Amino acid sequence: MRRLIRLSALPDRATFDGQVIARWEQEIDSESGSSKNAEGYISVDDGQRGWTFSGDPAYNRVALGDLVRVTVNPRSGKLIELTITARPRRPPITPDRL
């Protein structure tokens, strides 16, 4: 009951800025078991905690290191909106930087 009260006190939306700190794919079995698919995941650090989101739309749009503005449902942790705010450029790899 305490958890329900605590969750109901949370707003239905929260927006924060963060940085994409991880991207990965994980195999998932289909319900029939006849084929395997991969689902994309991303992790965003907001400076206080890491948030993990699944789904190919977010996974396909971002790169590691992108700065993003994220809107989530804090009650469920579900991603509502993701906007790329900056793509920090990495210096090119040269023989002297190997």
Higher-confidence position of 5 and 49: 49
Contact 25, 47 (CB under 8 A): no
> Is residue 85 one of the residues assigned to a domain?
yes
Degrees to nearest 5, angle at CA 61 with 93 and 28: 105
Q: What is the pLDDT of residue 6?
A: 59
Q: What is the pLDDT of residue 37?
A: 81
Task: Please tell me the distance from the alpha carbon of residue 92 to that of residue 90, in angstroms, as a whole number.
Answer: 6
> Is residue 4 one of the residues assigned to a domain?
no
E strand map for the chain: 14-29, 36-45, 50-54, 67-73, 78-86
Task: Tokens for 10, please give them.
Answer: 């949370």
> Is residue 29 one of the residues assigned to a domain?
yes
Residue range of the domain that includes 44? 18-89
Give this prediction's pTM: 0.74
> Is residue 5 one of the residues assigned to a domain?
no
> Is residue 3 one of the residues assigned to a domain?
no
Counted domains in the chain: 1
> Is residue 13 one of the residues assigned to a domain?
no
pLDDT tens digits, 27-82: 877 666 656 688 999 999 999 999 999 988 889 999 999 999 999 988 788 999 99
